[in-house]
Structures are given as C-alpha cells and as structure tokens.
Structure 1
Amino acid sequence: MSNFQASRREFLRLSTLLSTTGALGMATPFAVNLATVASAAAQTNVNDYKALICLFLNGANDHANTVLATDSSSWSQYQTVRTTSEAGSIALPAVGTTGGVLPIVPNTIQAGRTFAIHPAMPELKTLFDAGRLAVVANVGPLFVPTTLEQYKAASVPLPPKLFSHNDQQSLWQAYAPEGAAYGWGGRMGDLLAANNSNPIFTAISASGNTVFLSGRTVRQYQVGSSGAVAISGINGNLFGSTTASNTLRNIITTDTANYFQKEHAAVTSRAIAAQSMLAPAMAPAGANGVANPSQYKNPNTGVLANNSLATQLQTVARIIAGRNTLGVKRQVFFVSIGGFDTHDAQKTVQADLLARVSHAIAYFDSTLTNLLGSDLRQQVTLFTASDFGRTFTSNGDGTDHGWGSHHFIVGGAVKGKNIYGNFPVTGLKHAQDVGSGSLLPQYSVDQYGATLANWFGLSASQISDIFPNINNFTTRNLGFI
C-alpha cells in the first residue's frame, strides 16, 4: 500500500465503484453518480422545523396480538386459532374481562368490524382516542400490487428473501436485502440537508448503526443515552498530564501522507468537532431540561423498571430542543427496541415489550407538549416499523415468521383515531393468507414511506427518486398525515 500513490479523491471514487450496489446486487456507480447529481440539484428549501422518528421493533412484532378485530365473527376465529392446548396459549382475554384487550373506535367505520389493541398498551389507547395516533393496517415490502394468485404463481416481481430477518429489516429500511447501501431516511436527509447549517445533524441514530439513515451524501450521526459521545483522553489531563492529552489529540487528528491514516484523522476530527457542537446545544436531562422518563410497569410482574426505549426518545427530545442552536430545519431519527422474535413464550414476552413501547411513546408525546416552552407535537412525527408480521397460527406458545403487519403513526399532524386500510379478515385461508395466516401486504413500504415523505416536504419527483417502486402503485399517499 505504501507504493500506491492514488489521491484521497481517487481512493474514494474507487471505493464507491466497488461498494455501491443496486437492487439486484450489481455495481451501479454511473447511475448512482447521476442520481446524486440530480438529487443535489433538486434539494428543497424549507422554512419550518420538522422531525421524523423511526421506531423499529427488531425481531418482527406479532401484529395480530397488537391490533385486533373484536366483532363476534372475528373474535370467534381469533380464539379458535390462537387458543392452544399448550400452557403458553397466545390468545388474549376479551374486551371487558380481567386483563382484556382495550377497545378502540375508529372515526371511519369498517362495516361489521370492531377493534382493540393489546392490553399492555393503555397509553396508546389514550393517544388513539385523543386523535394523535393512527393505525395503518397490513403494511409490508411489495414491488407491485400483488394478489394471492400472483404470489402463488410468482407471476409478478416479489420481494427477495421473504421471511428472513436481516433481509426484511433491510427491505423495510432500504428497499433491498441485506447489504443495501442507502436507506430512505438517509435519502430524505440527502434532499433536505441543505436547509441545515450543520448537515451532520440531519440523520441521527440513538440506537447504533442503521442502514435506514445511510444517505448518498448524508452520514448518520450516532449518539448514546447521554447524547454526543466524546473521545476519551483528548481534553484536560491524561495520566495527570495536559501534555499527554494534547499529544493524543495530535496523534489521532494529524494529517499524513498515508491514505488510511489520513481518512482516520479526518473522521476523528469531524467527530470531535460534531461533539463539541452538539453537547452544549442539547437540552440537559432532568428537572432543568427534558424531564427524565418515569419507570414503566412490567405487566407480567407488576414490577417497576427503567425503560431504555424511553431514554432513547429522551435523547431525541434533547437534540430537538437544541434545533435552533444547531441551525437545523429537518431531522430524521432512529430508535429501536429488540426481542420481538417470539417463537416461544410470546404472551409474556410481547406483553412486556409492548408495555415499554406504549410507555415510551406516551412519554415522548408528553415531552413534546412542552419542550422548553414550545409545543412541538405538530412538527414531530413518529412511526413504527418491524422486520415483518407473524403467522396467525400458533406454534404452541409463540408464532413464526410472516409478512404484512400493522403499524402506528403518532404526532400532532397525524389524522388520528383511525385505522387506514381495510383490516384483514381474521382467520385462515382468505384472500390475503399466504400460509398459516401470514398476511400478503395491502400497502407497500414505499406507500407508507412516501406518505411520510410528502409531509416532510419532499416533492413528487423526489419521492419517486427515494422510493423506487412508488410509481407502480395507484395510491401514492395513504392520507394518514
């Protein structure tokens, strides 16, 4: 490598040629470069502030116990299929019984249907009833509108590697299987980052690295539970010596002729500069800033415990509170909670996880009501996503991998107290059952994301650029926001 005299620019160009892949896994540098130029030319100017938060439920949340149809016919089918002889039967108690599902009444009536949500989510029922939360029924990856007959015959393009966790997480976040380079959160950031005086704070993850926030030009910025993560030992004393700390800083930031050292120094310098800007801009945690979340109650044990998801959302709120200092108008955030791969012990495991989700979302909504004196609920929208739904059939005390799933949208701009889409038939062997009650999606992720992108301020042509399959669908905007 010492004899390789390529410039940094040339190295980056070659790296891009080698690492950039298209939906079919083929290198597409020329198309990507053209799209990047077009995207830069089409950036949108905005004057207001908006933030979009993706809450990802890692492991594939069981939608059929999260939002349920409770009319007599549906409930009979539900109990028949989901009640097993196993001690771990996954059927939930009925409305009005001890620990029963919580009724919700949508503004738009679906003839003959009534609905409820999981009993561990009373806070979300309150938000639904208040009109700040909506349900979007049966969303999942699709390339084109697909019928059950077309699916069985494979007569239309189908999403690759269905029912695979890693690949479907990537399809949800980046419209391609594992190995995708760009996510739709990052691509939205690409087109809107010019509105931010500090573009580095456009796409922020409070939950580690995620392809969802990877843009072509925008880099995701990762924060910890306490906010911006500082590099240890480069400020103050190191081993009792300021000279040592200064020396360490020089070692890790000094430019050199070696490309790898040069790039490492550039990344490190950028991280130091970003941390020095973000740390003082964030609102403090606690009584003098963004209130700490209360503990949530485990519905299985009644024991109070800390909720790490609520802490992630507190970090997001603290960054949003510093939006004016940071000079940002558009931000995309990512938070997540894992454990939803409930092949076993689903009734207890999912109850605890959904209790955390409900508690955290309610905390975030309450925090935005008065964020350092401002009500920002109208300007901030949170949506859920997950690998896929799960089978309607039980494997005894759990469920297996599915496809379509129901999701929540939360915020002041949301047209809440509604279920969007025709709620699927409850049971087996119907027009959306691809096997074991796994749902053929009614809406594509592209339609779901495009609706959010439209609210975020992107034009129709930009949305078509971000969501490669949206033009295959008649309905581009699902109308929930």
Structure 2
Amino acid sequence: MTKVNASRRQFLRYSSALGAAGTIGSASLPFALNLATMGSAAAQTSTGGYKALICLFLYGANDHANTVLATDSTSWTQYTTVRTTNEAGSIALPPVGSNGGVLPITPNTTQAGRSFALHPALGSLKTLFDSGRVAIVSNVGPLIVPTTLQQYKAASVPLPPKLFSHNDQQSLWQAYAPEGATYGWGGRMGDLLAAGNAYPVFTAISASGNAVFLSGRTVNQYQVSASGAVPIGGLTGALFGSTTAGNPLKSIITTDSNNLFQKEHANVTNRSINAQSLLSPAMAPAGGTGVPNPTQYTNPNTGALATNGLASQLQTVARIIAGRSALGAQRQVFFVSMGGFDTHDFQRTAHADLMARLAHAITYFDGVLGSLQGTDMRNQVTMFTASDFGRTFTSNGDGTDHGWGSHHFVIGGAVKGKNIYGEFPVTGLKHTLDVGSGSLLPQISVDQYGATLANWFGLSTSQINDVFPNIVNFSNRNLGFLG
C-alpha cells in the first residue's frame, strides 16, 4: 500500500471540494477551489494588462514526424524509406504537390539545405503559420541538463526519470516529476501572479478535467464544464419534487459547526457556491451575441461532419476570458486537451483525424479572439501544445512507438511566428540525436520552452528560476518565439 503524506486540511480540501460539488467522480467538478485566496475586488493589483496562457495537451504522444516534416531531397528520401512499409497501413504521407500531399511552409529564417511541410490536414494551421501567428519549436522534451548521445548512453549526466512511460512523462511535462507530482508549472506561475487578480480562485482554470499542470502550492485549479461553472446540485429548482427543499439543503451543507470536519466542509461548500455565483454571470454567453459556437469539423478520412470537443473547450475558455473585467482578472492560466494520440496502430487514418480536429479548433479560437465581444485579444492570449513525448521515426507496420523529443506549436498574436525555433533534427536513423528507432534526444528542454512562455507572461528572472528548477542548467533561457 502506498503511503499518502497529506495533512488533515489537505485531505479535507480535496475530498470536501468533491463532495460539495454534487456528483462525485465527474471530470467537470469545480475541484480544488483556492480556499486560501478567494479574494475581493479590493485585492486587485496592477500586473501590466491582461494576459492568458493556455496549455493544449495532446494525450498519448503526438507523432511529431508526421506533423512537421523536412522535405528537402535527402530528408524526404530517408522519410519515405523508413516510413513506407509493406503493410496496408504504411504511415508515410504523400509528397508536396501530390493529391493529399504534405503542405509546404517557408520559415522566415532558413536552415541550410532544408525545406519543410505540415501534415495535409493542417491546412488552416498553415494559414496561421504563414500569417505569422504560429511558431514551431523543434525537438522539445524533458531534460535535466544539456545532454549528448554519448552522455545518454553512458548515463554520465542526470537523466529524466521513467522515460517512455505515458503517465510519468505526462507528469514530467506538466510538473517536473513522474506520476505522483503535486504541483505543476502552470500552477506555480499562478502562485506568483494570483495576487494581481481580484478573485485568485479563477487564476488556474481547467476545461478538461484534473491536470497537475495547474496545481500550485497555494493556487489550486478550478474546473469548469463545457457550460461553464458547475453548480452544486439541488440548490435551485426542484429537489425530490419540492421547489422549496433547496434552501434547507443549502443550510445543512453550509452551516458552521464545532466539528472540524463539518466546519471545513461548510467552508469549502460556501466557497464553491460563491465561485459559481461569480463566474456564471461574468462569462459571455455561448452563441448569439456572445462567443460564437464552433462549426463542425470535417473528418478527412470520411468527409463526414462531426462535433469537435477541443473547439468546445476553447469556446469555454474564450467565454471566461470575455468576462475578465467582471472577474477583475489580470493573469489566467488555462488547460485544454485532446486524447487519442497513442497511435501504435492505424496511425495514418487516426492521426489525420486528430490533425484535422487540432487545426479546426486552433483556427476557430484564433478567429474568436480576433473579435472577442468587439476586442482583438490575440496579442494577450498565447496557446502552446505539449504532449507525453514524441514517437519513433521507425514504423511498426501501421503505427509508431514511444519516443522522447517532439515538435510543438505556439499560437497567438504575440508570437514571432512563421518560424521554426531550434535546429530541426536530421531526418532518418542512427544520427547524433537518435536514442533508438529514431526516437529523438531533445535539444530544447521543457524548462526552456516554459521559461520563454513565463517571461512573456510577466515572471521575473528569479521567479522563473523558482518555477523551472532546471533552467539554471541551460544557457539559453529565452528561445525568442514571443515578443
């Protein structure tokens, strides 16, 4: 049995928040309200204008090698040789210019002898890249110190723990430590900037369930559903057929008590009720005169229209951002996600659908931010992708296996877009960054990636050192992809 080291107050904070929410176990519960800092408008301080940072996590490990591709002759030959198999599910994509071929991009800064393209389903994302609102950061992954292939093989420098494990690497990306970490770098940024918000409980908000990325030492994530703040059931409307039972129920669950457990439960419940009563009226409505509803996306494999869950999450985020003035918010960190990226099988069709949904949702959100209730918010909101790890360059027939480094997108008006940051790795096998089967040894650490975002977000050098414990080991603390 695993020993859980938690104080009584910590236990009550989490368990009571769940119980007060109504339906225990729901991913959309307003879990872990910030009990210590449920502030008032008087608490607001200036932090230089509103900014929001959004982590878009791709659960399962995105196949970066079919997302951003090198298409120069040498690279393409290696790519088609390795990724074309005798299997019906061969994962090599068609070349530039062919029917359904990869989409060429021209970064502002050239890399000698290299040319590049995006997955065929990323057409609308290519348009944003060409317009300068999307940047690509090449070969990012967890590192403790800069590491060469020789050092990796000899284990002569400290290496990230439990490489190639989904749960552990998801946690390492979000929270510097394997599964079981208690706080992440989104939450830690919230800790440092929450005092600038009138209601710090709305500093770290997840539209996609519980994520350690948003857990801080003092700031805890507030979870919302697609419809916004989640109310405690039974307090309004009919309860067991009675229209008057809501008030007695509220009295029972919020009344103070000499019993410490009951007292803490009442405190959490009151704060949950207060938070919902603040957020619900502040959020812009969905559709109509509020935040436009996302259109359906087209499945590239079937041509069928379908609802895009990621776009719905981003609509919720936009509705909260639209309410920033009513909430007195200056800095907010959000979390959204997609699943399904563990493409060991049927990768070519599965990944095409994932890429279509990704591009559709990002493009929808960019359009919404361009005129969010009459205001262009794109310069004040930055979104970035993250994932468990990259995948192997080799194919297992119709899929790929667990890797390490991967390429990522950064999206927003403040982004120095139309560029690839970091030297794009050699395409092929048995090169100086190949740790096996074409799995990439990262050349940019998650700390460097996050520190660049944190610098734009307003953290000082000392605060960045605190949030990203390994950043002191890297000479390049700012990758330059944000203004």
Q: What TM-score do you get using the length of structure 2 for normalisation?
A: 0.91
Runs of 4+ in 1 over 4 A off after TM superposition: 13-16
Cross-structure match for 1:282: 283
C-alpha distance 96-57 of structure 1, shift in aligned 2 (>3 A): same
- 1:88 is aligned to 89
- Flag the 1:14–1:314 CA change in 2: closer, same or farther, 3 A: closer
| Partner in structure 2 of residue 181 of structure 1 | 182
Q: Which residue does 2:293 correspond to in 1? A: 292
Q: Please state whether the residue corresponding to 1:429 is helix, strand or coil.
A: coil
Q: 1:411 to 1:342 in 2, by over 3 A?
A: same
Matches within 5 A, 1:7-18: 11-12=8-9
Name whichever of 154-163 and 233-242 sits farther off: 233-242
Partner of 2:139: helix, strand, or coil? Answer: strand
CA shift for structure 1 position 271: 1.1
Opposite residue 428 of structure 1, the aligned amino acid is L
AA matched with 2:57: F
Equivalent position SS for 1:243: coil
Please tell me the residue identity of whatever aligns with 1:12. Answer: R
Partner of 1:205: 206
The amino acid of 1:250's aligned partner reads S
Could you tell me which residue of structure 2 aligns to residue 479 of structure 1?
Answer: 480
Equivalent residue letter for 1:391: T
C-alpha distance after superposition, 1:333-383 (max 9, x if no partner): 000000000000000001101100000000000000000010000000000
Deviation at 1:247, TM superposition (A): 1.5
Aligned-partner residue type, residue 218 of structure 1: V
Secondary structure at the aligned position of 2:353 is classed as: helix
What is the aligned partner in structure 2 of residue 303 from structure 1?
A: 304
Aligned to 2:138: 137
Tell me, in whole angstroms, the C-alpha distance in 1 between the residues paired with 2:7 and 2:103. 59
Query: Is 2:249 the counterpart of 1:252?
Result: no
2:266 maps to: 265
Partner of 1:120 in structure 2?
A: 121
Q: Which residue of 1 aligns with 2:160?
A: 159
The 5 Å alignment of 1:448-459 reads 448-459=449-460
Task: Check the 8 A contact 2:12/2:264 in 1, yes or no.
Answer: no
For residue 245 of structure 1, report the CA deviation from its aligned partner.
1.1
The superposition leaves residues 268-292 of structure 1 with CA deviations (integer Å, 9 ceiling, x where unpaired) of 2111110000000000000210000
- 1-side partners of 2:11 and 2:104: how far apart? 57
- Give the partner amino acid of 2:60: G
Task: Rate the CA distance shift 1:145–1:316 in 2: closer, same or farther, 3 A.
Answer: same
How far the C-alpha of 1:13 sits from its partner, in A, is 7.9
**Superposition TM-score, scaled by structure 1 size:** 0.91
Give the secondary-structure state (helix, strand or coil) at the position aligned to 2:303: coil
One-letter amino acid of the structure 2 residue matched with residue 115 of structure 1: F
The Cα of 1:11 is off from its aligned counterpart by: 3.7
Check whether the contact 1:44–1:192 (CA below 8 A) recurs between aligned residues.
Answer: no
Q: Distance in 1 between matches of 2:340 and 2:7?
A: 43
Could you tell me how far 1:263 is from its partner in structure 2? 2.3
Following TM superposition, by how much is the alpha carbon of 1:243 offset from its aligned partner in structure 2, in angstroms? 3.4
* Alpha carbons 1:44, 1:191 under 8 Å: kept: no
Q: CA deviation at 1:10?
A: 7.8
Find the residue that maps to 1:334 and give its secondary structure.
strand
AA at the equivalent of 2:453? L
Distance 1:130 1:474 in 2: 31
Code of the aligned partner of 1:309: L
Partners of 2:48 and 2:217 lie apart in 1 by: 24
Alignment of 1:406-417 (within 5 A): 406-417=407-418
SS where residue 217 of structure 2 aligns? coil
Name the structure 1 match of 2:17. none
Structure 2: state its 5+ residue gaps: 1-5, 14-35, 37-43
Q: Distance in 1 between matches of 2:295 and 2:12?
A: 46
- Between the aligned partners of 1:461 and 1:143, the Cα distance in structure 2 is 19
Matching residue of 1:436: 437
The secondary structure found in structure 2 opposite 1:357 is helix
Residue in structure 2 matched with residue 56 of structure 1 by the alignment? 57
1:45 Cα deviation after fit: 4.9
> Residue 244 of structure 2 aligns to a residue in which SS?
helix
> Aligned residue for 1:341?
342
Deviation (angstroms), 1:239: 3.1
8 A contact 2:83–2:393 mirrored in 1: yes
Alignment of 1:12-51 (within 5 A): 12=9, 45-51=46-52
- What is the CA–CA distance in structure 2 between the aligned matches of 1:207 and 1:350, rounded to whole Å? 21
- 2:30 maps to none
Shift of 1:14: 9.8
How much does 1:256 deviate? 2.4
CA RMSD of aligned residues (A): 1.7
User: Within 1, Cα distance between the matches of 2:342 and 2:7?
Assistant: 44
Superposition pairs for residues 366-385 of structure 1, below 5 Å? 366-385=367-386
More moved, 177-186 vs 258-267: 258-267
**2:316 maps to which residue?**
315
Asked whether the 8 Å contact 1:137–1:423 carries over to 2, the reply is: yes
C-alpha contact (below 8 Å) 1:55/1:384 kept by paired residues: yes
1:45–1:192 CA contact under 8 A, matched in 2? no
> Between Structure 1 and Structure 2, how many residues are aligned?
448
